[in-house]
A = this chain, B = another copy of it.
């Protein structure tokens, strides 16, 4: 735990916090400094279950984590309905904010969070881990290749996994008062992000949800889909569901080539990531390929994508702390664009698949 380490505090012991505490341990520039839950007991259990170092501070409330002057960053895996309160409070306490998705219940709430971060000069980033994978950077290279890929025409994403009856009965993602977006906010978020990523973060103009989403008895979305349209003719579709076997497809089609993978959210393996391309201009150098099968791009990496996320966030925090840099605008902008589309899709679903214009930046 050198001085140059960025010190993380975690508020809330959701399952995802386990993944992030491991990522913090793996990231060379970050350290887990404190963990807070609504009771000391829950926090202690989490520390014990995850084999945390005895140096990690255990707190029985979220506030104490925010009040600890040695905490640089607060990671917030709380239910979405609590994000506004705790993210704003964290920013006001000058903590940098790493927060789980969906970031907020609406773009209005998100704007309040982002404003608090801006006013207090802290970095904001949402927990979309796959954005930080070295594979994602390589995919972007292909999508930016005017020859191999050409102009973007359409993007299609599917993200499903099958939950069990306990999840359906108890998980926060099925509770309207905790996380009203359900599957749309949890995994539809990834689809929307994949679409925006492929579209170089140009927002679609309008969306129209597929009719007949599956809702639970409280009206929370369990399955839904949507088509999205840009003014220049680009189109995207996505489909997400809590009721179907694990599928994580991203297909991006250009005029000259196609990019494809079936594990974009959580890769099949941590250390050897793959994606597939086809192109009318044939093969890319340094890519294993077997004509006429697709090009297979293999990206070795020493760290899982969530550790890359923690590293990137910690790097930005250090730039701010040590060099007086401004927070990086790119990450809050991505979150806001994703939330703008999310809100439009939700509105279309709520209005029986009406066409809804996407709010613009």
Contacts and interface: CB of A to CB of B under 8 A. Distances in A.
Interface in A208-243: 208, 210-212, 214, 223, 225, 227, 229, 233, 235, 237, 239, 241, 243
A153 B244 contact: yes
A225 B237 CA distance: 9
Contact of A245 (B247, B258, B293): B258
A253 B244 CA distance: 6
Interface residues on A, range: 35 or more
Contact of A235 (B208, B225, B269): B225
A245 B254 contact: yes
Nearest to A224: B235
A257 interface: yes
Number of copies: 2
Given A225-B235, A278-B246, A255 B156 contact: no
A294 interface: yes
Contacts of A245: 150, 153, 253-258, 278-280
A262 B276 contact: yes
Contact of A210 (B235, B246, B247, B262): B235
A162 interface: yes
A288 to B, nearest CB: 15
Contacts of A292: 268-269
Contacts of A233: 212, 214
A162 B211 contact: no
Contacts of A237: 210, 225, 237, 239
Interface in A157-215: 158, 160, 162, 208, 210-212, 214
Contacts of A150: 245
A243 B153 contact: yes
Given A245-B279, A253-B247, A255-B244, A212 B239 contact: no
